[in-house]
Amino acid sequence: MNAHAQRLIATRLGLALLTLLLVSAAVFGMTGLLPGDAAQQALGQAATPEAVAALRHQFGLDQPALLRYAHWLLHVVTGDFGTSLSNSMPVSQLIASRLPNSLMLAGLTTLVSVPVALLIGILSAMFRGSLLDRALNVVTLSTVAVPEFLIATIGVLIFAVKLRWLPALSYLSEVTSFDGLLRIYALPVMTLCCVIVAQMARMTRAAVLDQLNSPYVEMAVLKGTSPVWIVLRHILPNTIGPIANAVALSLSYLFGGVVIVESIFNYPGLASLMVDAVTNRDMPLVQGCVMVFCAAYLVLVLIADLCQIVSNPRLRQR
């Protein structure tokens, strides 16, 4: 890797860190604008004004906003997100207890959605204009237009209420076998995959179509190369960057859609923890969860940028 590529990667890392800093300021400011008083919420309506004032002083809520932000940011850099106002536990400990569950859900969704989306996108591009292409376009466009909460509701009505094949709620404590694991994760993964597969498939189709119009593909066709070999040998290596961007942008949707899905299925993940924190006006917990989501999103985008740099010789050799 030459010096230009190294500078490009360093620039991307710097921009990611700057974005995370700006996001931290925005998150801290917006959580401070939430209505109500966090100390009053933690102690209840029967608390005396003296007790509320003491708790506000204990958590530093009586200090100026800029001072609180600077103090919070210094601790975040060291991995300390503060103490939860609602249960007096370290925020990092609460996040660590829920993060593996969210990563498990995201990982299973990725394992299912990425191969299916790539297959749909490549087939649709290879047979563009055909009945298969039109049918796949209609299905993907329709799926993108349907919100995930409606897909989840329909899935529960069909598979949990009518057919009784799957549980309506995801209780991880009931997972005692591989079959139980599949049953618990089937509906949440299906709901997340519906929209993600559609978005990823359409972006993959666009990337493959762009390469199908290239002169080297026309030359391969004139030589009698089979369509499958053209895609595997010529097109896919040249679409690694765009496809990686498509995968990263689609998977980043998980950090928005998973909030709704975890709430509907009562899944004990990080998103449901954040929803409870917003309800309880637990600002340190909300800030910690949002920062984890933003950092994960930036990591996905950064990986897509790195794939684009590595796969594009023009970016490496400028």
Element (H or E) spanning 128, and its range? none
What is the pLDDT, as a whole number, of residue 116? 92
What is the pLDDT, as a whole number, of residue 308? 72
Contact yes or no for 199/141 (Cβ under 8 A): no
- Looking up tokens 């790195």, which residue turns up? 306
What is the pLDDT, as a whole number, of residue 167? 85
Mean pLDDT of 4-12: 78
What is the pLDDT, as a whole number, of residue 262? 84
Rg (CA), the chain: 24
What is the pLDDT, as a whole number, of residue 250? 77
pLDDT at 292 > cutoff 70: yes
Q: Which residue has the higher pLDDT, 256 or 189?
A: 189
* CA 142/CA 148 separation, integer angstroms: 12
Q: Which residue has the higher pLDDT, 200 or 311?
A: 200
Most confident of 56-65, 68-77, 232-241: 68-77
* CA 203/CA 186 separation, integer angstroms: 25
What is the pLDDT, as a whole number, of residue 135? 92
pLDDT in tens, 104-133: 888 888 899 989 998 998 888 888 888 988
Q: What is the pTM of this model?
A: 0.81
What is the pLDDT, as a whole number, of residue 6? 76
**What is the domain partition of the chain in residue ranges?**
97-301
Mean pLDDT of 5-16: 81
pLDDT above 70: percentage of residues in the chain: 88
What is the pLDDT, as a whole number, of residue 27? 85
Query: What average pLDDT does the structure give for the chain?
Result: 81
pLDDT in tens, 18-34: 988 898 888 888 877 76
pLDDT in tens, 214-273: 888 788 877 877 777 888 777 877 787 778 777 877 777 777 677 888 888 888 888 888
- Is CATH 3.90.1150.10 the classification given to domain 97-301? no
Task: Report the Cα–Cα distance between both ends of the chain, in Å, rounded.
Answer: 12
Mean pLDDT of 168-190: 78
Helix, strand or coil, per DSSP, at residue 83:
strand
Where do runs of H (alpha helix) occur along the chain?
3-32, 38-43, 49-58, 65-77, 91-126, 131-145, 148-155, 178-212, 215-222, 227-229, 236-238, 240-252, 254-264, 270-279, 283-311, 313-316
What is the pLDDT, as a whole number, of residue 52? 72
Mean pLDDT of 195-217: 84
What is the pLDDT, as a whole number, of residue 186? 87
pLDDT category at 213 given cuts 50, 70, 90 is: confident
Contact yes or no for 27/291 (Cβ under 8 A): yes
